[in-house]
Amino acid sequence: MIGYSKYLQEAVTAARIAGQYQKSRFASTLEIEMKGEKDLVTEVDRESERLIVEHLLSRFPGHDIIAEEGDYLQAGSPCRWIIDPVDGTTNYAHGYPWFCSSIALEVEGELVAGVIYNPIYDELFTASKGDGAYLNGNRLSVSNRVPLSNSLLGTGFPYDCATDPANNFASFIAFQKSARGIRRAGAAALDLAYVAAGRLDGFWELKLKAWDVAAGVLLVREAGGVVTTFDGSAYDVFNDRIVASNGLIHDSMVTLLAAVAAGVAI
């Protein structure tokens, strides 16, 4: 690790602190609030965020923070942490053991460090810019599986899918027909980590937020994969359409998404 290791190290510590807490409260009775008709937030989301932010600011007091559950003063620091304290909240609230925390650091708008931690499996995914992606310290690389018809993909659906036609349903059907299979596991950050690990060959989703994807995007890129918008153009974490893949099936995924957008039957 060159350059960004001190940041990565502290992000790992923060993710482990949050993960230990999440595990200790898992499947217990939780206070749950509704942010929208389907969108939950639990006391564990809020406390996990508090623990992560407290740790990072104790080490890097001047840094900016963007996180899902709170508003933080933006001091204009070149260093900005992007945090999802619990990705997979619906799973967590239902006692379904599939969730993680996701922590990324941007320096001058560029992703330089990312951590995704699944405390149930004790799987720690890490990446820093120029130094590759790792799972529990072992180097990761994306799969070399081709073509799309042999591929396993991940995706998800936005919380407002019942009311907004931009709901991913048509693409889901088209990919289900064209690929080997699709998993909708409920934690976008882990989907991206799984693309980096070669366990999924591709992933697409819409209306995700920066905290859902920031660490995962760096992981995929550092594992040799490709991340773009739906039309294949350059992606940044504030774009709300994402396609991530092993690179080899990327054009096929983008072509299929274009066909769905044009209303062509697959």
Chain residues binding ligand IPD by CB under 6 A are 84, 87-90, 156-158, 186-188, 208, 212
**In whole angstroms, how close is the CB of 2 to ligand IPD at the nearest point?**
31
**In whole angstroms, how close is the CB of 26 to Ca ion at the nearest point?**
15
Nearer Cβ to Ca ion (10/205): 205
Residues 6 or more apart in contact with residue 15 via CB below 8 angstroms = 52, 101, 103, 115, 116, 117, 124
Structure tokens at 179: 């690929």
Residue 195, SS3? helix
Q: Residues 127, 219: contact at Cβ < 8 Å?
A: yes
Nearer Cβ to Ca ion (89/118): 89
Nearer Cβ to ligand IPD (158/247): 158
**In whole angstroms, how close is the CB of 211 to Ca ion at the nearest point?**
6
Residue 156 binds: one of ligand IPD, Ca ion, none (C-beta under 5 to 8 A by kind): ligand IPD
Q: Where are the alpha helices (DSSP H) in the chain?
A: 5-25, 43-59, 89-93, 169-178, 188-196, 210-222, 250-261
Map the footprint of Ca ion across residues 43-82, applying CB under 5 A: 68
Residue 244 binds: one of ligand IPD, Ca ion, none (C-beta under 5 to 8 A by kind): none
Residue 133 binds: one of ligand IPD, Ca ion, none (C-beta under 5 to 8 A by kind): none
Amino acid at 81: W
Q: Residues 154, 189: contact at Cβ < 8 Å?
A: no
Nearer Cβ to ligand IPD (33/251): 33
Residue 104 binds: one of ligand IPD, Ca ion, none (C-beta under 5 to 8 A by kind): none
| Phi, psi at 10, each rounded to 5° | -70, -35
Binding flag, residue 212, Ca ion (CB under 5 A): yes
Nearest to 86 by CA among 98, 94, 74: 98
Residue 106 binds: one of Ca ion, ligand IPD, none (C-beta under 5 to 8 A by kind): none
Residue 187 binds: one of Ca ion, ligand IPD, none (C-beta under 5 to 8 A by kind): ligand IPD
One of 84, 131, 201, 205 touching Ca ion (CB under 5 A): 84
Residues 6 or more apart in contact with residue 97 via CB below 8 angstroms = 26, 91, 120
Residue nearest to ligand IPD (CB): 156
Q: What whole-number distance in Å separates Cα of residue 94 and Cα of residue 72? A: 29
Q: Return residues touching Ca ion (CB under 5 A).
A: 68, 84, 86-87, 89, 212
